[in-house]
Structure 1
Amino acid sequence: MSVERVIALSGGVGGAKLVLGLSHALPAERLLVVTNTGDDFDHFGLRICPDTDTVIYTLSDLADREHGWGRTDESWNFMDAVRELGGADWFNLGDRDLALHVLRTDRLKSGESLSGVTNHIAGVLGIRVSIVPMCDQPVATVVETADGPLEFQHYFVRERCAPQVTGFAFEGIEKARPNPALISALEDQPAVIVIAPSNPFVSVEPILAVPGMRTALRDCGAPIVAVSPIVGGQALKGPAAKMMAELGVPASAVEIARHYRGFIDGLIIDEKDAHHMREITDIGVPVEVAQTVMSDLNDRVELAGRTVDFAARLRGGIKR
C-alpha cells in the first residue's frame, strides 16, 4: 500500500482502534488525526479531553484495554480520597491519568493553545503521528433529552446514557475555527480522509460542525471514506444505536450511509451487514464490505489497509 497523507477524524475508543491500525499501516509522518473536543469539560478545576486522551493513550500503548478508557496500570488513591471527603465521584480520574490533566490545565492557564499542549504531550510520550484537536476554541456538546439538556459527560458517564435523547447542540461552535494544522494539511492535498467508526452524532458531528470544516474537507479533493460504527444493528461501543432508536432512526448501516450522504464518497460496512449493500448503493453511496470488528491489532491494521485501498479506488471517480 502506497499512499500520501491520510487524515482521520476520530472520537474515542472505537475511533482510536482504527487510528492505531492506520499508525501501523502508514509511516507516522503520513498520518494526521483530528480529535473531537466536544467532549472536553472542566472537572475539579482541570481541563479533561476524553477523546483526545484516548487517542494519545492508544498510540502510546498506555491505554487500559480492559476498561477501554484511561491508563493502564492505574491506581485510584485520588478517587478514594475524594469519596472520603464527600466529593463528586461519578467521573473516575486515576492517579496516573490525573497527572496529564494537571499538566494540561497548567499549560493552558499559562496561555498555551490546546494544540500546543496536545503536541507536547504526544511528543513526550513518543508519538510521532500528528494529533490535532478539531479546534483550539472551547466547544461543549450538549445532549438534549426528554428530561432537559445535559452536558455530554453528565449524560454519558453520570447518567450512564439513560435519558431519552431528543437532539444535540454544540455550545461555542460559532466561535470555533478549524485547527490551522489541519487546514495546512488539507492544502497539501492529502490522499484520503477517513471518518473512523465513531458515534456520528457526538463524536464526528462536532468536528464537522466547526464553521468552515465541511467545506475545507470537501474542497481538498481527497476521497472521504467512513467506517460504519453500527454492526448488525448494534453499536460495538457507546450509545450510538440507542441514540438512533430514540431519534426515530433505525440502527443500521443503511442509516449511517443516509446520515453521511452528500459528504462522504464511500462507506465501509461489516460482513454482517453485507445484505445492505444494494440498498446503500441505491441511495448513492459506494460501499465496501470488510471485517470491521477490531478484536486485536491485526484486525486494526487489516481494516486500515482496506479503508485506504478503498479510498484509492474511489479517487479516480470523484466529481465535485
Structure 2
Amino acid sequence: MRSAVSHIAIATTLLLAACGGADARVFGPSVDIIRGPAGDYPMVLGAPFQVDGVTYTPADTLNYDSVGYASQAEGEGISGAHRTLPLPSYVEVTSLETGRTILVRLTRRGPMTGNDVVSLAPGAWMQLGAGASDRVPVRVRRVNPPEAERALLRDGAQAPVRMDTPPGLLAALKRKLGLVVAPPVLPSTLPVAAAGALGSTPTALPSSMPIPQAKTAVKPRSAPRAKASAPVGAGHGLFVQAGAYSTRERAEKVARALGGTATSGGKVWRVRTGPHKDRGQADAALAKVRAAGYADARVVAAP
C-alpha cells in the first residue's frame, strides 16, 4: 500500500512539473525513493502545452535523436529539461563544438521560451565543457543506461563521460543542424621546384663529369612460400563488442562487468566478449550484452 501511495505522489509531482512554469524542478515524496530504482518510475508525459505559440505534445519516443541548441538553466546535479520526452528519462548530450558526450537525467519540462532543444543544470553544463557560452549546438539522443549509472545521476553525481564523437560523425551532425563545416586541412608537400625558395640554390654538375647510372640489382627468384594457416585462438572468431572507450580504466571496468576483455585499438580501448564458435552463439551473447544496457553493442569478426 505504501509503495502505491509513493508512486501516486511521484506521478502527481511530475505532472505538475510537466504543466508548470520555466524548467520547474521535479520534487518527490522522499529522498530514499528518489535515490532508489523506484525514483525512475512511473515515467510521466503530461498534457500538450505551448511555448511561444508552438504546441508541444509529450510522447514516449524510444529512438529519439535530434540536433539543436542547449542552454543553461536552474537545476541540481546532472539534470536537464526537455519539452516532450518522459519524466524522468535519460539522454546522451553531445557538444557539436568539441564532440564531448555526457549522460543527463531529464527531470522537468522546458525550456519554456525560445527554440532550444534542451536546457541543462549548471552541473551538466560544466561536465559538457560549455564554459561561459550562452548556447551550444548539441545532439540529444535518448538512451537506456545501466542501473549503476542511473543511480549516480539520481544521487546528483556524474556518470562517466562517453567516448568522444568521431570527427566524421561530428561533421555530419553539424551539417544536419545547418552549421558550416570547415574542409579538412590536408598536409602540404614541398615540390622540387620550390627548393630554391628556401634559400638553397642547386649546384649544376660540370659537363665533363660523368653522371653515374644506378644499377638495378636482380634478385634471384625463390620458390613461393605457402601461407601458414592462422590458428583459431583467443584472437580469432566472432566477438561481441560492447563499446570503445578513451581510457583503459573505464574499458576494464566494463569488461569486468560483462566478463569480457579490454584490448587496445589505437587511441581507444575496445571491450569484447568471446570468441564465439558460430553466429548463433554470438547472437545470443549480443542479446545479453544489450540487455545489460549496452544498446550499441554489435557482433564483429576478429582480427
TM-score w.r.t. the length of structure 2 is 0.23
| More helix by percentage | 1
| More strand by percentage | 2
Higher Cα Rg: structure 1 or 2? 2
Q: Which structure has more RCO (C-alpha within 8 Å, separation ≥ 6)? A: 1
TM-score w.r.t. the length of structure 1 is 0.22
